[in-house]
Amino acid sequence: MTAKPSQRNSVIETGTVRLPAEQGSFRESDVPALVGAPKASSTRKLVVANLSKSFGSTAILKDISFEIEEGEFVCFLGPSGCGKTTLLLCLAGLESPSSGEIYKNGQTITSAPPSQRDVGIVFQSYALFPNLSVSDNIAFGLVNLKWAKDKIREAVGGLVSLLSLEGHENKYPSQLSGGQQQRVALARALAVSPSLLLLDEPLSALDAQVRTRLRGEIRDLQQRLKITTVMVTHDQEEAQTLADRIVLMNAGRIEQIGTPWQIYNEPATPFVADFMGVSNLIQGVVSEQNEVACDQFALRCNTQDYLVGTKVQLLLRPEDIEVVAPSVLGTSVDTFTNLLQVTIVKIEHLGAVVRAHVVSANGLTLKVDISKRDFDPALHGVSQALCLTIKTNDIRLFVQ
């Protein structure tokens, strides 16, 4: 017996109707320039312009604007409650924005129902039909589109092979592992050949090893199919591994848009610096050219864009702080910049690196990463003294 589909599922995963041109068109002036946004081109696929969303008096999205190129993989990244899932639902047509516009293929889809957006979506819970087999779950959208049975069998067979589900076609969701359920949900979303694939934290319920393997499979699949993909995640590593570009959000706003390298190495704000990876943020004041005065010490760094007296925050990444061996320090102390004497108060073994939590005599606390190769338990234990050096180019400044 075939289960009767709910309206919500049928409109998401079966819709392939295109919008008529008279529903509205996109203008270049509708989207402001953003850090890391791609240059305008004829292949632009998805444009969000000044989008806002409120529930009652609570603003969830605040003037969101960005562009996504055709075939791009973009991750919405941010802490819980930042609005990234609400933004995804607005793209899918499952939430209506309070203001702003969404354009796809040059046409407005802001008020269009999900069935007219040509999207496939995979939810965090996968939302598989428990009383349908793997094959019937994958075929669900095609049945609703009234495809011929032989065409459905051919399409399902291709997706089963593509997503390595051979031998599971007649199983039910309860008989599958979490990773296999994720593949079925992805196959169902891809069955109708959507031009936009939306993923709402599809890997969050899986254990670490399965999650790592499947995110590689998702990226490989996306590149093979060249399908425009938007994924919501709160996992930094996941976003950096999968995305061509990251949209980093905080409190309903976009903090920065850029490639994974840009987001990590060129953070636009202290929030981005602190959210991405591990950071040391220190308060200071520009005291003279290329010098910042901190509490009872000074650091040499590039202050070209800052006036003397400007209050700043200094970003020091743990991997950019070097430990100087006593034997080297004693013979060439003048060659090092920003030397700090510290004491180890805590050690964390993280596999490839060992993270030392250190404190200086004046109370400055830092996190320092030591490679596994350079770590020496006899020299790098709790209460041991270290000498650190920080290169000027490895210090980034933010105005407070």
Tell me: pLDDT of 102 over 90.
Answer: yes
pLDDT grade, residue 331 (50/70/90)?
low
Q: Which long-range contacts (CB under 8 A, 24 or more apart) does 20-27 make?
A: 20/107, 21/107, 23/107, 23/108, 23/109, 23/112, 24/101, 24/103, 24/107, 24/108, 24/110, 25/103, 25/106, 25/107, 25/108, 26/103, 26/106, 26/107, 26/108
What distance in Å separates the CA atoms of residue 70 and residue 44, rounded to the nearest whole number? Answer: 6
C-alpha distances in Å from residue 124, one per residue of 119, 181, 306: 16, 11, 45
Confidence of residue 218 (pLDDT cuts 50, 70, 90): confident
Look at residue 163 in the predicted model and tell me its pLDDT: 85
Task: Tell me the per-residue pLDDT of 284-320, one tens digit each, with 9 for 90 and over.
Answer: 999 999 999 998 789 999 999 899 999 999 999 999 9
**According to the model, what pLDDT value does residue 133 have?**
94
Q: What pLDDT band is residue 329 in, cutting at 50, 70 and 90?
A: low
Q: Residue 315: its pLDDT value, please?
A: 96
pLDDT tens for each residue of 367-377:
999 999 999 99
User: From the CA atom positions of the chain, what is the Rg in Å?
Assistant: 26
Please name the residue that has the structure tokens 């969050």: 204
Residue scoring higher pLDDT (141 or 77): 77
**With left for phi above 0 and alpha for psi between -120 and 50, is residue 56 left, alpha or beta?**
left
Question: What residue has token string 């039910």?
Answer: 172
Can you give the pLDDT at residue 332? Answer: 58
Q: At what angle do helices 134-144 and 178-190 cross, to 10 degrees?
A: 20
335 pLDDT tier (thresholds 50, 70, 90) = low
Helix, coil or strand: residue 316: strand
- Position with higher pLDDT, 34 vs 386: 386
Give tens-digit pLDDT for 232-258.
999 999 999 999 999 999 999 999 999
| Beta bridge pairs of residue 109 | none
Instruction: Calculate the average pLDDT of the chain.
Output: 85
